Amino acid sequence: MNRTMKRIISYMFTIGALFALAGCGDSIVDLAPKDKFTTDVALSSLSGLEGSIYGVYQRGRDILQSNDICMYRQCQTDLVKAGTNLSDQATFRAIAMFDYQFNGSLKGVSDLWDTYYVGINRANLVIEGVDNLQMEDTEANRARRDRVLGEAYFFRAYYNHCLVTKWDNIVLVETASVDPNEKVKLVGADVVYPVIISDLKKAIDLLPEASAINSSGRVSKGVARFLLAKAYLDRSMWPEAAEMAKAVVDDPQYKLAPVDEIFSCAHQDNKDIVFAWQFTKNDLNTVQRVSQQWYPLYDRVDGVLRSFEQGGRPWSRIVPSDYYWTLFDPADKRLNAYHKRFWFFDSTDATDKIPDGYQVGDTVTSVNIGSAGGFGMNAVIPTTNKFFEDGSLGRNIGDAQGYRNISEFRVSEAYLMAAEAYWRAGQTEKGLPYINAIRQRAGVADFTTIDQNIILDESARELGHEASRWEMLKRMGVLVERVRAHNPDGGANIQDYHVRWPIPRSFVDMTKVDQNEGYTE
């Protein structure tokens, strides 16, 4: 039995699964049975439950710590193409390119599948632990209990949503203890979404308002409302989606921040951020691997030094597609705020000499770039700035990891969800103020109507290279055609069946479920 199969059996089908307990310092402690300190004991106390919920958060954050899969949600869309160093990560290359290795045997596929099911199992353990909770019955203790339970329901919904949007056919696990002899069956969206919606409604009832938490790193009613709006959109429940997205927009804890603050390391707690995965230099077990992977190899250009002002350590896996850049009006404030488009000469070192006729501060162009180590203009290809990290959070110039938070949900997306939902519900006039609020902040003209292409284009401008594009293209039924039209690398390989991912081969072999159509491995 291979390691993946053992993990799935351990995490999905036994109550004695490995569990993580995070303390005040967010350090992860193994909670496998040791002497008399068992999972049941830890989950029977209020403080044990509060610690255990960090293990549920951890599974979502862990993905961002892997070079192989940290950017899987940003690739496979119309907004990206291969960077110079995509081939350095075989697993990520297979995912990004839809190449022959993108199948159920690919490690990255099983890593993601396993990660989400571990998260579900941990959430189920917390949910069931509440039934056995021993605590003094006070108002304060009930609030603490409800918050933990609400977080567990939210993350069970979140992980199920990640699974069903990628795979379509999944195993719905609603208890921590499942009979390993029971035949495993796959279910589709019609079965999974009612559970997601139910869990999110429970979470909203139990969680505190965002204002009571005042942190984008913890789940609140606002975070649960955001995901519920997205689930309603997925199910074409337009009035419900509009109502829930409006509730997020109307939450006084959130507001549209200036575009130059949203992704700034100095403003990580800005009010545009509804939920973000938290990282810190204080715990080297919680580093993210995203920041370097969007930046081209600019330091290969003679006369350009590696510095934080220029972009920090670069290692370009993927970059924005040519199509992406056609979407912006030259006056759009997001062009400069969300991107690094130009590099400049800054060396005074005789061994890294600026080309003759140029000086410090001059822009690198096709005329003066030279060979750039053989990369040419690919060494200064424009890219997103949304994951940029300077040295203020503790990152060193040679670090391959970063410590900035990574945004998951933004109120800007809630505005766009509200606009789309109202439009699809036949209430365009109600939707226009929401999409135009995004336009006004960017300094460009209002729309006078809404259609699907307007939604797609404005979402690309505002949310490009974050986490929602693939899901949106799939939901609208345009994923394959858009990737073929605008992604020069993945577009050459994408097939109709790629709208759903392959189920891990190890899981198929173990459970005898059917592989998703189109995949032979």
Tens digits of residue pLDDT in 218-246: 999 999 999 999 999 999 999 999 999 99
CB 473 within 8 A of CB 455: no
pLDDT for the residue 283: 75
Give the other-Cβ count within 10 Å of 348's Cβ: 12
- Res 36 pLDDT > 60: no
Looking at the DSSP assignment, which residues form a beta bridge with residue 37?
A: 34
Position with higher pLDDT, 350 vs 238: 238
> Helix axis angle, 221-234 relative to 411-424, nearest 10°?
40
- pLDDT, tens digit, 9 for 90 and up, residues 78-114: 999 999 999 999 999 999 999 999 999 999 999 999 9
Q: What is the mean pLDDT of the chain?
A: 91
Q: What is the mean pLDDT of residues 33-39?
A: 40
Kindly state the tokens that stand for 157. Answer: 């919904």
E strand or H helix at 185: none
Q: What is the mean pLDDT of residues 341-366?
A: 96
Query: Alpha-carbon distance 341 to 323, whole Å?
Result: 15
- Res 19 pLDDT > 50: no
Position with higher pLDDT, 2 vs 260: 260
Q: Where are the alpha helices (DSSP H) in 182-290?
A: 189-206, 210-213, 221-234, 238-250
CB 231 within 8 A of CB 161: yes
**Separate counts of helices (H) and strands (E) for the chain:** 18, 8
pLDDT for the residue 170: 98
Q: What is the mean pLDDT of residues 59-66?
A: 95
Q: What is the mean pLDDT of residues 354-369?
A: 97
pLDDT for the residue 41: 59
Q: Which residue, 136, 127, 242, is CA-closest to 173?
A: 127
- Res 22 pLDDT > 50: no
pLDDT for the residue 97: 97
Q: What is the mean pLDDT of residues 11-18?
A: 33
Unique residue bearing structure tokens 């290809």: 381
Three-class SS state of 343: coil
Q: Where are the alpha helices (DSSP H) in 3-64?
A: 3-13, 39-42, 46-62
Query: Alpha-carbon distance 256 to 326, whole Å?
Result: 25
Q: Which residue, 168, 193, 170, 171, is CA-closest to 180?
A: 171
pLDDT for the residue 157: 98
pLDDT for the residue 40: 63
**294 DSSP assignment:** G
Query: Alpha-carbon distance 81 to 521, whole Å?
Result: 26
Instruction: Label residues 363-390 b or e (16+ Cβ within 10 Å = b).
Output: ebeeebbeebeebeebbbbbbbbbbbbb
E strand or H helix at 470: helix 469-475
Contacts of 354 (CB under 8 A, 6+ apart): 302, 303, 345, 347, 360, 362
- pLDDT, tens digit, 9 for 90 and up, residues 267-316: 999 999 999 999 998 876 789 999 989 999 999 999 999 999 999 999 99
Burial of 191 (0-12, 13-18, 19+ CB in 10 A): middle
- Res 30 pLDDT > 70: no
Q: What is the mean pLDDT of residues 50-74?
A: 95
3-state helix, strand, coil in the chain (%, to 5): 50, 5, 45
- Res 258 pLDDT > 90: yes
- pLDDT, tens digit, 9 for 90 and up, residues 440-464: 999 999 999 999 999 999 999 999 9
pLDDT for the residue 9: 41
Looking at the DSSP assignment, which residues form a beta bridge with residue 404?
A: none
Query: Alpha-carbon distance 374 to 302, whole Å?
Result: 12
- Res 72 pLDDT > 90: yes
- Res 517 pLDDT > 80: yes
Q: What is the mean pLDDT of residues 199-214?
A: 97
Q: Where are the alpha helices (DSSP H) in 263-410?
A: 322-325, 334-337
Phi, psi for residue 219 in degrees, rounded to 5: -75, 140
pLDDT for the residue 42: 66
